[in-house]
Amino acid sequence: MVELERSAKAATLAPETLPKPERIVQQFRDKRILERLTEGYKGWRPIAGGLATGSGFAFGTEYAHHNLAGGYMEFRAAAQLSTRLWQKYGATLSFPHTFGRRLISGINLTHRNYNSLDYYGPGMFSTRGGRTNYRLEDTTLQGIAVARPEKRLRAGAMLGYVWTNVGPGKRGGISSTEQVYTESQAPGLHRQADFFRYGMLAQYDRRDNPLGPKTGGNYVIQWVRYQDQTRSLYSFNRYDIDFQEYIGFFNNLRRLAFRARGTFTDPAGNAVIPFYMRPTVGGSDDLRGYRQYRFNDSNALVLNAEYRWEIFSGMDGALFYDAGKVMRRGGHLALSQMKGAAGFGLRANTRNQTFLRFDVGFSREGFMIWFKFNDAFSSQRFGTGAFQPLY
Amino acid sequence: MRVRIGILIAALAAIPVAGQKFYPDDPLLKEPAPRRIGEMPVRELSDVYDLFVHSLATPGELQPRTGPKIRARGTNTLGDPMEGAWWERRHYWNPLTHEQLQRGPGGTRPPSMDGKWTITGPKSSGVTPGFRIKDSTGTTYYLKFDPVDYPELSSASDQISGKIFHALGYHVPDNYVIEFPASILELSPDARIREANGQRRRMTHDDVNDALRRAARNQAGLYRGTASRNLPGALIGEYRYHGTRSDDVNDTVPHEHRRDLRGMRLAAAWIDHDDSRAINTVDVVIEENGLRYVRHYQMDFGSTLGSASYKPNSPRSGGEYLFDWRNAFLQFITLGALVPEWARASYPDIPSIGRFESERFRPEKWVPEYPNPAFMNALPDDDFWIAKQIMALSDDDLKAIVDSARFSDPGASVYMTECLIRRRDKIGRYAFSRVLPLDRFEVSGGRLIWQDLSAQYGFGGAGPVKVEWFDFNNLTGAATPLQANEGAWLPQPGGPYLLAQFTQRNTPSRTISVYLRRTASKVEVVGVEHQW
């Protein structure tokens, strides 16, 4: 029987080939097309995203050299443009391997030109109909050094200079900010300022996986001093806290995620804080039923709670409730005046890292749909400068 | 009684007969010598394509939803695969000593510690860091290291599971647990590395240090991992769990119908080999004694037991496919309120064990990461075939195998052994309850004797069994009852072939047909067929 089968097979022997779709997938892998796109060619690679929310789809190119000074120094330079013509240019020289990776330091130079950032006026009583937009153009030069004395703990300091310029917004159908708001309602609208900036930060990160946390916590505090170098009208201290806690159960296939984020400012003497440097609430990472930057004032507090569950290995579901407020004075922490938003979401992930997030948030102002390429609460907010949506 | 015999005769007579059932050389314990193959190019499969195709529309000829099931092929008349390119009769038939179990397919040629290990390149595949080296004897090995946060996890899993699969008869590579100082490594000036973007460049000491930085070290500062000895032939790519390789003349049975691959489902369940897919197999062109043929290997067991190679296994492992329409829909609409049984498992806090347990393990529900057509086709007799081999590994055998993993924590060794024992017993209990669990049929002293495996392992036994005898016509397939005979004694009258029909009295659908051939010098068992 075996020999009969072999004889039959011998008569039909043919070269082993892959089905066409598999061949295409295999060639894609063999030619390392994905790697070439992500890792780049001779240091050059395309990049996407990375501008503030509201920019539209952003794309650009980056040049990176990882092996300067025997591998101890890295250089990156990037230029990006979004579909709304927002622009961002930057260059970073970093030293990631100092003292066995226990000290990360670098110098960064960034220029941003965001032509239509939203502003609704100050305070919690601003209205949705008060939406305006303005141009924010700034250049930042800063140095930062972050030490990691042990695996979970980071402490760092930064020092830099910021040149800012605010102008009329370009988005059609929405008034430009200066047409609606006065200097008292939008400090810094008509008087440009430059800042000497320095500060310190500390982070204790005990999350199991920062790119898709299931258990643990992340606790960050930061202080930054903005010293107005032009008229001393706008000098202030800014204090940020961001506490996150993740509680997994059923082998972390179900999770509760909590976050408390606060930004508090302390103007020096009679100084005021430029409206574009004030903390905001609303958007894809905090109050998801409201538009991005919906509420703006000198201080902000956001509380988030999420229940997450695994639908299948590549996708999680989420139910969330967000609450947030902005305050003229930092002591007005009463929870009663908070705006609330509830919603649901889906998170696509691979290797336990969220690469696409879809959230729908509902509030008294309607609903908002968000597509983001990061995990909720994970956007980089610490270490001042170019990484933040604003400041 | 007469009515039942009549029904049985009618059923047997209804079996279509294509020719004689048994040939003089039956049962064939070994495959006939393979035909010489020609040049066979390397054909690598795409793991991504494999994942999507199997998840969305599993290929191969699957069991029909209704009607007769497709029985396993590639077996001899006793129901066992023939020894050869896919599988060999091992522990169940010829018990291996503890030393042999620990050695596996080789066990005597670890990389020599007398001299340097020359790094000739990086490990080309997989998620764990590693190197390709030549030891001072010039033998090539592939080194891969344990993850820093989970020392011993991957190497112990690889060692234990590889040895188990070897005892079960599969071809596996000759792997060793190694502990070595960084000073034994030297970098060949010819070593090349391929960067992520595909560009090749000379391998540097930074590359070596980068890999070592991600490798676990023991308390003595030695790096620990697995050394896999180069397989004895040219590697031509993976085999699929369906279809055949079109350029291999000896590969004639669709893989989804091979008993050794169908049966492997429960073996994989035992060691939680959820990564049992094409990418963890390899075909090797063997040249020996003037023959040139393909041998089929199972490999890369670093992602078994509680390990996912570089981290503990997912709790989902074995419980559910990575993607399953029905379960995903249920989870979506219930907002996760429906908690699967596997999600409730609890695991020990032992880094070298990872996520491996026996309490929630259900062999009948176990699945790999995505549908495997051979596993999906497994029938009760396929399960029985592997389960009898699994049960043949005694508690002490398993302890010996686990010892070969060289856990530094005695608690890990004890936990692993106990876990394997409990999972083994669950498999035995399950598989032996689906067929009439009798085996090892032979003739002795004029009687047909056998073993009740369910009774032997303390699972309650098969219960009362009726044995009826028939004279069997090997040419026509007709079975004529020998009514005077019932029981174990061989009937005296009759032709050269006898049929003993075993029926479980409590579940009459479970039967075993045992065929015997009488010659002048002996009576031997030539065929065994299960029905259920």
| Residues of A whose CB is below 8 A from B148 | none
| Tokens, residue A338 | 């908070």
**What is the rounded average pLDDT of the residues B349-360?**
95
How do residues A327-363 score in pLDDT, each as one tens digit?
Answer: 988 777 777 789 999 999 999 988 778 889 999 999 9
Whether B49 and A312 lie within 8 Å, measured CB to CB: no
Nearest CA in chain A to B347: A251
Q: Which amino acid is at B341?
A: E
| Residues of B whose CB is below 8 A from A312 | 320, 322-324, 327-328, 331
Q: What integer pLDDT is reported at residue B124 of this predicted model?
A: 63
Range in A77-81, A193-197, B3-7 the model is least confident about: B3-7
pLDDT band for position A379 (50/70/90)? Answer: low
Q: Which of B252, B369, B244 is nearest to B319 (CA)?
A: B369
Q: What integer pLDDT is reported at residue B8 of this predicted model?
A: 45
Interface subset of B 420-479, CB within 8 angstroms of A: none
Sign of CA dihedral A204, A206, A209, A214: negative
| Tokens, residue B143 | 């080194």
Q: Decide: residue A184, CB within 10 A, 0-12 exposed, 13-18 middle, 19+ buried.
A: exposed
Q: From the CA of B214, how many Å to the nearest CA of chain A?
A: 13
Can you give B212-273 as a three-state secondary structure string? HHCECECCCCCEEEEEEECCCCEECCCCCCCCCCCCCCCCCCCHHHEHHHHHHHHHHHHCCC
Residue A319 · residue A307 · CB < 8 Å:
yes
With left for phi above 0 and alpha for psi between -120 and 50, is residue A143 left, alpha or beta?
Answer: beta
Half-sphere CA count of B194, side-chain side, radius 13 A:
10
How do residues A1-10 score in pLDDT, each as one tens digit?
Answer: 788 899 999 9
Q: Which of B347, B427, B450 is nearest to B164 (CA)?
A: B427
**What is the rounded average pLDDT of the residues A215-219?**
94
Residue B67, number of CB atoms within 10 A of its CB? 7
Q: What integer pLDDT is reported at residue B126 of this predicted model?
A: 61
Q: Decide: residue B427, CB within 10 A, 0-12 exposed, 13-18 middle, 19+ buried.
A: buried
Whether B48 and A29 lie within 8 Å, measured CB to CB: yes
Cα separation of A273 and A266, whole Å?
9
Instruction: Looking at mean pLDDT, say which of A7-21, A245-259, A267-281, B186-200 comes out highest.
Output: A245-259
Q: If residue B53 lies in a helix (H) or strand (E), which one and from where to where?
A: helix B47-56
The contacts of residue A208 (CB under 8 Å, 6+ apart) are A214, A215, A216, A246, A252
| Residues of A whose CB is below 8 A from B44 | 26
Q: What integer pLDDT is reported at residue A381 of this predicted model?
A: 52
Quickly list DSSP for B446-477. TEEEEEEHHHHTTS-----EEEEEEEE-TTT-
The distance in angstroms from the start CA to the end CA of chain B is: 20
Phi, psi of A178 (to 5 degrees): -70, -15
Phi, psi of A314 (to 5 degrees): -105, 5
Residue B347 · residue B306 · CB < 8 Å:
yes
Whether B49 and A36 lie within 8 Å, measured CB to CB: no
B32–chain A Cβ distance below 8 A for any pair: yes
CA A322 to chain centre: 18
Interface of A with B (CB under 8 A): 2-3, 5-6, 8-10, 12-18, 21-22, 25-26, 29, 31-32, 35-36, 38-41, 71, 250-254, 307, 309-315, 317, 319
Q: Would you say residue B185 has pLDDT above 90?
A: yes
Cα separation of B208 and B454, whole Å?
53
How do residues A161-210 score in pLDDT, each as one tens digit?
Answer: 999 999 999 998 999 999 999 999 999 988 888 999 999 999 999 999 88
> Who among B40, B46, B328 is closest to A311 (CB)?
B328
Cα separation of B122 and A270, whole Å?
64
| Residues of A whose CB is below 8 A from B204 | none
Q: From the CA of B478, how many Å to the nearest CA of chain A?
A: 21
Q: Would you say residue B356 has pLDDT above 60?
A: yes
Interface subset of B 299-318, CB within 8 angstroms of A: 314-316
Whole-number average pLDDT of chain B? 91
B42–chain A Cβ distance below 8 A for any pair: no
% chain A with pLDDT above 90:
65
Q: Which of B126, B363, B375 is nearest to B240 (CA)?
A: B375
Nearest CA in chain A to B77: A1
Residue A141 · residue A161 · CB < 8 Å:
yes
Whether B245 and A313 lie within 8 Å, measured CB to CB: no
Residue A389 · residue A118 · CB < 8 Å:
no
> Which carries the bigger pLDDT value, residue A28 or residue B399?
B399
pLDDT band for position B16 (50/70/90)? Answer: very low
| Tokens, residue A336 | 């009663």
Range in B45-49, B285-289, B484-488 the model is least confident about: B484-488
Indicate which of B22, B49, B240 best probes the interface with A, i.e. most A CBs within 10 Å of its own CB: B49
Whole-number average pLDDT of chain A? 89
CA distances from residue A41 to A61, A65, A300 in whole angstroms, order as listed: 11, 11, 43
| Residues of A whose CB is below 8 A from B28 | 2
> Who among B43, B196, B335 is closest to A319 (CB)?
B335
Across chain A, the runs of DSSP E, i.e. the strands, are: 44-48, 58-68, 73-82, 87-98, 103-119, 132-150, 153-168, 175-176, 194-205, 216-228, 236-249, 254-267, 280-281, 295-296, 299-312, 315-327, 339-350, 353-363, 366-372
CA A326 to chain centre: 20
How do residues B232-276 score in pLDDT, each as one tens digit?
Answer: 999 999 999 999 999 999 999 999 999 999 999 999 999 999 999
SS3 B4: helix
DSSP B307: B
> Who among A251, A254, A313 is closest to B345 (CB)?
A251
| Tokens, residue B406 | 């060289």
Q: Would you say residue B7 has pLDDT above 50?
A: no
Buried/exposed code over B390-425 (b: 16+ C-beta within 10 A; e: otherwise): bbbbeeebbbbbbbbbebeeeebbebbbebbbebbb
Cα separation of B314 and A313, whole Å?
9
Q: Which of B223, B144, B134, B139 is nearest to B186 (CA)?
A: B134
The distance in angstroms from the start CA to the end CA of chain A is: 78
**What is the rounded average pLDDT of the residues B111-130?**
85
C-alpha triplet B251, B257, B261: angle, nearest 5°: 85
Cα separation of A142 and B12, whole Å?
89
Whether B32 and A2 lie within 8 Å, measured CB to CB: yes
Residue A116 · residue A169 · CB < 8 Å:
yes
| Tokens, residue A309 | 């569950």
> Which carries the bigger pLDDT value, residue A254 or residue B4?
A254
Q: If residue B131 lies in a helix (H) or strand (E), which one and from where to where?
A: strand B130-134
Beta-bridge mates of residue B467? B502
DSSP B406: -
Q: Would you say residue B150 has pLDDT above 50?
A: yes
How do residues A85-96 score in pLDDT, each as one tens digit?
Answer: 999 999 999 988
> Who among B43, B49, B324 is closest to A16 (CB)?
B43
Cα separation of B236 and B23, whole Å?
35
Whether B331 and A317 lie within 8 Å, measured CB to CB: yes
How do residues B426-446 score in pLDDT, each as one tens digit?
Answer: 999 999 999 999 999 999 888
Q: If residue B327 lies in a helix (H) or strand (E), which one and from where to where?
A: helix B325-334
**What is the rounded average pLDDT of the residues A24-49?**
81
The contacts of residue A71 (CB under 8 Å, 6+ apart) are A97, B206
**What is the rounded average pLDDT of the residues B44-73?**
93
Pairing of strands A299-312, A315-327: antiparallel
Residue A359 · residue A292 · CB < 8 Å:
no
